[in-house]
Amino acid sequence: MMPSLAAALNVSVSEIGYLISLYALGMAFGGPVLTALLLALRVPNKPALLWLLVLYVAGAVLAALATTYGVMAAGRVVMGVASSACFGVSLTICAGLVAPEARGRAASFVLAGLMLSPVLGVPATALIEQHHGWRASFWAVAVLSVLCTTVVAWRVPASKDQSHVGLSAEFRSLRNGGLWAAYATSALIIGATFAAFSYFSPIFIGVTRFSAKAIPWLLMAYGLANVVGNLVVGRLADRHMIAVLTGGLGILALALGAFAGFAHSAAISVIAFLAIGLTGVALNPAMVARVMRAASPGPLVNTMHTSLITVGLAVGSWAGGAAIDAGYGLRSPLWIGLALALAGLLSLAPFMGKRVQQRVTTQ
């Protein structure tokens, strides 16, 4: 889609690439601000989600109608802001519909849509763009978002009394050190994953020597691994949250190290690639369960989590690219990812130490 957009808007492909950054900036900074505004206005969760979905539709329509780069950029920012806040409010509604001990598994179903995007969304978008043009892709997103809004209005129950979930209560939750430790681990996991993921294609083509035709199939397999990992983690996250995070980060680190060290081997590279897919982003339900356990699962707490995950994604992707630009080679993003995964493990060390101490005390 990028070449078509560049030609239509009369800008370079690199400028079209900035639209991804603008979307991420909208998620990282606009989402929490909009969520705080909704809390200040005391808008209940279901109406808030519906308004956010309408805003997302408006952003998609604006992008579909764009004739200048500025209008397209505005549409992408609006979509980023709305999507970040949507995730926060959706997870809060989800948490309120199930028992506390089932929140991780419930979150895995909310996040399954995110996992399906590389499996269905990316190929579908490319197919629509090839046959009907890039505008049709944005119109398809708008139509699907309208359908989603209709289903939410019809099927999602109205929120319970929210008198205890005001803006001041959310700000008090954000002063919790344990919550920020959970945020840090999540940002490091996603940073580690995207430091590598952003450059998988050039690594596979330039180092492993796969043909360009193999890349879509590899990415589809990666997306399926994300879906499977997300569902497995969702089943385990509530009872074994820290064990899942520790084990998942350990596997992620080993996979990144193996890929970096043996990127010339097709077999090892593909196995490591799929292991990254099974962990990495797929650890989201355990991350969400930890955040919800550290603080009341309100909209701002969850939206801040989405925001900081987006920051981790951006920093990881930037660090991987900076390493390549500095002349460290195509494998360098994998080493960057390994370093971030190890930092994620270190961020869990204090919590693990407390658990060991508690077990010794009880014995």
pLDDT band at 359, cuts 50/70/90? Answer: low
pLDDT band at 354, cuts 50/70/90? Answer: low
Each residue's pLDDT tens digit, 294-337 = 887 788 998 999 899 989 988 998 899 889 989 999 999 999 99
Each residue's pLDDT tens digit, 56-79 = 999 999 999 999 999 999 999 999
Each residue's pLDDT tens digit, 81-123 = 999 999 899 988 988 888 888 888 888 888 777 777 766 777 7
CATH of the domain at 244: 1.20.1250.20
Percent of the chain clearing pLDDT 70 (strictly above): 94
- Reading the block at residue 54, the tokens are 């309408």
Q: Is residue 363 part of a domain?
A: no
- Alpha carbons 113 and 312: distance in angstroms, whole number: 20
Q: Is residue 271 part of a domain?
A: yes
Q: Is residue 361 part of a domain?
A: no
Residue 337 CB contacts under 8 Å (≥ 6 apart), including other chains? 191, 192, 193, 195, 196, 256, 316, 320
How many domains are contained in the chain?
Answer: 1
Q: Is residue 348 part of a domain?
A: yes
Identify which of 37, 35, 18, 138 has the alpha carbon closest to the alpha carbon of residue 87.
35
Which residue segment(s) compose the domain that 210 sits in?
A: 2-156+165-356
Query: What amino acid is encoded at 258 in this protein?
Result: A
Q: Is the pLDDT of residue 357 over 70?
A: no
- Alpha carbons 187 and 176: distance in angstroms, whole number: 17
Each residue's pLDDT tens digit, 237-258 = 988 999 999 999 999 999 999 9
Each residue's pLDDT tens digit, 177-202 = 889 999 999 999 999 999 998 899 89
pLDDT at residue 106, as a whole number = 86
Each residue's pLDDT tens digit, 258-272 = 999 999 999 999 999
Q: Is the pTM of this model over 0.75?
A: yes
Q: Is the pLDDT of residue 362 over 60?
A: no
Do the Cβ atoms of 104 and 285 come closer than 8 Å? yes
pLDDT band at 360, cuts 50/70/90? Answer: very low
Q: Is residue 29 part of a domain?
A: yes
pLDDT at residue 355, as a whole number = 57
Identify which of 98, 100, 103 has the alpha carbon closest to the alpha carbon of residue 157.
98
Q: Is residue 311 part of a domain?
A: yes
pLDDT at residue 98, as a whole number = 87
pLDDT at residue 163, as a whole number = 45
> What is the overall mean pLDDT for the chain?
88
Q: Is residue 362 part of a domain?
A: no
Do the Cβ atoms of 24 and 83 come closer than 8 Å? no
The more confidently predicted of residues 1 and 39 is 39
Q: Is the pLDDT of residue 363 over 70?
A: no
pLDDT at residue 75, as a whole number = 96
Q: Is residue 328 part of a domain?
A: yes
Each residue's pLDDT tens digit, 148-175 = 999 999 999 887 655 445 778 788 888 8
Do the Cβ atoms of 35 and 303 come closer than 8 Å? yes
- Alpha carbons 240 and 284: distance in angstroms, whole number: 14
